[in-house]
């Protein structure tokens, strides 16, 4: 088996890859370095634990289609042949011939599963269950199964002081799905509750600015809300500068929208 691995910039510089947490990106690189010459890995959980990555990191790579998972627990790097070309005299075929037989190589050299039978659909879902407690296809990460309206209803019912959401645009769907890749529905509910409790986010600030659904759902903003950055507290001189920074950040978000 070859000892050196390469990575295509077209993949690792893509927004889909760079939007993932650094721990998820690191896991991808470690898995790729330990894959066989066809891109297969038979111990992804062991490698995950070895580098201190979480179950969510592995699930996210599967959900974002950087990995393809099989019933056996073996995974394959989807873009392996885009990353690596191995000379015939150095190439050692994978031992996972049954899993490889289920793959089709696309024109751009990326792997994809062939037209799945009912059994293949079942075992892929079951294998994803074994990789973590959450059911990827049903709970969070499958495009067709994200309940966008549930998130909007949760916001409208909780954030009664903020502008209501009446339409779910494609941009909002994208934002909801992105947040559910990282946070649970309970996390979103907690963020909405904290936002509703925050006088600053409801307009009690020097610019009378009020947050809204789109602002709250931005990754950086929801993290700050959950961290308690906008909780009501006695004003201190040092907070004035922070408030101005927050306002300019909000204004920039508005301009971009």
Q: Provide the pLDDT for residue 256.
A: 61
Among the listed residues 97, 32, 46, 37, the one whose alpha carbon sits nearest the alpha carbon of residue 70: 97
Return the structure tokens found at 161: 């002081």
Q: Provide the pLDDT for residue 96.
A: 80
Phi and psi, residue 198, nearest 5°: -85, 115
Which neighbouring-strand residues pair with 75?
41, 69
State the maximum Cα–Cα separation within the chain, in Å, rounded to a whole number: 71
Return the structure tokens found at 243: 């408030």
Q: Phi/psi zone of residue 33: left (φ > 0), alpha (ψ -120 to 50 degrees), beta?
A: alpha
Q: Read out DSSP for the chain?
A: --S-----HHHHTSHHHHTS-HHHHHHHHHHHHH--TTSEES-HHHHHHHHT--HHHHHHHHHTTSEEE-TTS-EEETTHHHH----TTT----S-HHHHHTEEE-TTS-EEE-S--HHHHHHHHHHHHHH-SS-IIIIIS-GGG--HHHHHHHHHHH-TTSPPP----HHHHHHHHHHHTTS-HHHHHHHHHHHHH-TTTTT-STT-----HHHHTSHHHHHHHHTTTTS-----HHHHHHHHHHHHHHHHHHHH-
Q: How far is CA 89 from the centre of its chain?
A: 38
* Poorest-pLDDT segment among 44-58, 91-105, 200-214: 91-105
Return the structure tokens found at 226: 């959950």
Confidence band, pLDDT 50/70/90 cuts, at residue 19 = very high
Which neighbouring-strand residues pair with 179?
none
Condensed to tens digits (0 to 9), the pLDDT of residues 223-247 reads: 999 999 999 875 444 455 566 666 6
- DSSP reduced 3-state for 69: strand
Using the predicted structure, report yes or no on whether residue 221 has a pLDDT greater than 90.
yes
Using the predicted structure, report yes or no on whether residue 252 has a pLDDT greater than 80.
no
Among the listed residues 221, 207, 208, 203, the one whose alpha carbon sits nearest the alpha carbon of residue 257: 221
- Which is higher by pLDDT, 89 or 20? 20
Q: Provide the pLDDT for residue 33.
A: 93
Task: Name the residue ranges covered by the structural domains of the chain.
Answer: 9-140, 146-256
Give mean pLDDT, residues 37-51: 92
* Poorest-pLDDT segment among 121-130, 149-158, 247-256: 121-130
- Return the ∠ at Cα 105 (arms to 103 and 106), rounded to 5°: 130
Among the listed residues 233, 230, 234, the one whose alpha carbon sits nearest the alpha carbon of residue 216: 230
User: What pTM was estimated for this model as a whole?
Assistant: 0.42
- Return the ∠ at Cα 110 (arms to 105 and 116), rounded to 5°: 55
Using the predicted structure, report yes or no on whether residue 153 has a pLDDT greater than 60.
yes
Condensed to tens digits (0 to 9), the pLDDT of residues 202-213 reads: 888 888 889 999
Strands 40-41 and 67-69, bridge-based pairing: unpaired
Confidence band, pLDDT 50/70/90 cuts, at residue 145 = low
């Amino acid at each position: 088996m070859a000892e050196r691995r390469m990575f295509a910039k077209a993949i690792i510089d893509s927004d889909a890859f760079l939007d993932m947490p650094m721990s998820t990106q690191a896991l991808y690189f470690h898995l790729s370095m330990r894959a066989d010459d066809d891109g297969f890995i038979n111990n992804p959980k062991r490698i995950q634990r070895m580098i201190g990555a979480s179950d969510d990191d592995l699930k996210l790579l599967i959900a974002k289609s950087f990995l393809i998972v099989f019933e056996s627990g073996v995974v394959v790097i989807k873009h392996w042949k885009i990353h690596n070309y191995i000379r015939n005299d150095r190439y050692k075929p994978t031992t996972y011939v049954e899993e490889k037989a289920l793959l089709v190589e696309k024109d751009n050299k990326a792997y994809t599963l062939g037209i799945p039978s009912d059994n293949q659909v079942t075992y892929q879902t079951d294998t994803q269950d074994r990789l973590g407690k959450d059911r990827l296809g049903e709970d969070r990460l499958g495009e067709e199964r994200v309940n966008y309206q549930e998130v909007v209803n949760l916001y409208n019912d909780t954030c009664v002081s903020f502008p209501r959401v009446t339409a779910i645009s494609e941009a909002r769907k994208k934002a909801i799905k992105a947040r559910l890749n990282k946070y649970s529905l309970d996390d979103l509910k907690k963020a909405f509750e904290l936002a509703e409790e925050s006088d600053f986010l409801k307009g009690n600030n020097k610019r009378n600015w009020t947050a809204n659904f789109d602002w709250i759902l931005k990754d950086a903003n929801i993290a700050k809300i959950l961290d308690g950055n906008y909780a009501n507290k006695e004003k201190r001189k040092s907070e004035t500068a922070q408030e101005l920074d927050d306002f300019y950040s909000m204004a920039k978000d508005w301009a971009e929208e």
